[in-house]
């Protein structure tokens, strides 16, 4: 019990160390979020997994930990399309300390964790979707947020956007829902519908 509490505290500490200084206005101006490239997060892995944490300890793709269903969710998420810290891709720049994922990858990760529906998978989901605030995908240019989902009185994220359908789709940042938010949000709308 004490070891589990210690691991959860380390995970939460790691989450806050790698979390970005984020406000609702920075989603369109992510260039303002500058993090030194040499800052590294604390190495932490969820016990019983090889893929759920910072990096992977697996020696090959098919090597999974004791919690194999959970590890498959994390592995598939880890190898999905992302913009690594300090990199540019699709005209977007990630100056944050943690990778930013394609919205499809985060949607599939969330669905996978919820399908397992264990204490551990739901804990990972709550932590990940509290820390990871944005994802990217191709969509018509965002004009403004039309609807927010509120986590608390002070914390909210955009669920529905007004977009300019007269302009061509482009890659841009979208706010992710919290883990227990309804799935009906524009970040998780399939961008193949364009």
Tens digit of each residue's pLDDT (9 = 90 or more) over 139-152: 999 999 999 888 77
Nearest to 131 by CA among 90, 164, 97, 161: 97
The boundaries of the domain holding residue 162 are 2-193
Catalytic residue, chosen from 30, 71, 77, 78, is 77
192 neighbors 143 (Cβ within 8 angstroms): no
Catalytic residue, chosen from 30, 71, 78, 106, is 106
Say what percent of the chain tops pLDDT 70: 73
Render pLDDT for 164-186 as a digit per residue (tens, 0 to 9): 999 999 999 999 998 987 666 77
CATH code of the domain covering residue 75: 1.20.90.10
Distance, CA of 127 to CA of 143 (rounded, Å): 29
Render pLDDT for 32-54 as a digit per residue (tens, 0 to 9): 333 444 545 556 778 899 999 88
Buried-state track 12-40, b at ≥16 Cβ within 10 A, e below 16? eebbeebbbeeeeebbeebeebebeeeee
128-144: average pLDDT: 95
Q: What's the pTM? A: 0.75
Tokens at 189, concatenated = 């709308």
141 neighbors 164 (Cβ within 8 angstroms): yes
Active site (annotated) includes residue 77 = yes
What's the structural domain count of the chain?
1
Render pLDDT for 90-126 as a digit per residue (tens, 0 to 9): 999 999 888 999 999 999 999 999 999 999 999 999 9
> 């519908």: which residue's tokens?
193
Active site (annotated) includes residue 60 = no
Question: What pLDDT is stored for residue 21 in this prediction?
Answer: 32
């Amino acid at each position: 019990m004490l070891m589990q509490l210690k691991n959860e505290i380390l995970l939460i500490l790691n989450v806050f160390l790698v979390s970005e200084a984020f406000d609702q206005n920075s989603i369109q101006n992510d260039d303002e979020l500058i993090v030194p490239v040499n800052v590294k997060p604390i190495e932490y892995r969820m016990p019983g997994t090889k893929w759920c944490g910072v990096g992977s300890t697996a020696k090959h793709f098919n090597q999974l930990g004791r919690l194999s269903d959970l590890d498959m969710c994390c592995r598939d998420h880890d190898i999905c399309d992302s913009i690594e810290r300090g990199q540019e891709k699709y005209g977007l720049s990630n100056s944050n300390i943690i990778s930013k994922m394609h919205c499809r990858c985060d949607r599939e990760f969330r669905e996978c964790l919820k399908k397992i529906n264990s204490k551990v998978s739901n804990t990972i989901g709550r932590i990940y979707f509290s820390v990871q605030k944005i994802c990217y995908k191709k969509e018509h240019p965002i004009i403004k947020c039309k609807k927010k989902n509120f986590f608390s009185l002070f914390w909210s994220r955009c669920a529905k956007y007004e977009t300019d359908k007269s302009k061509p789709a482009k890659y841009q940042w979208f706010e992710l829902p919290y883990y227990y938010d309804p799935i009906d949000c524009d970040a998780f709308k399939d961008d193949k519908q364009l």
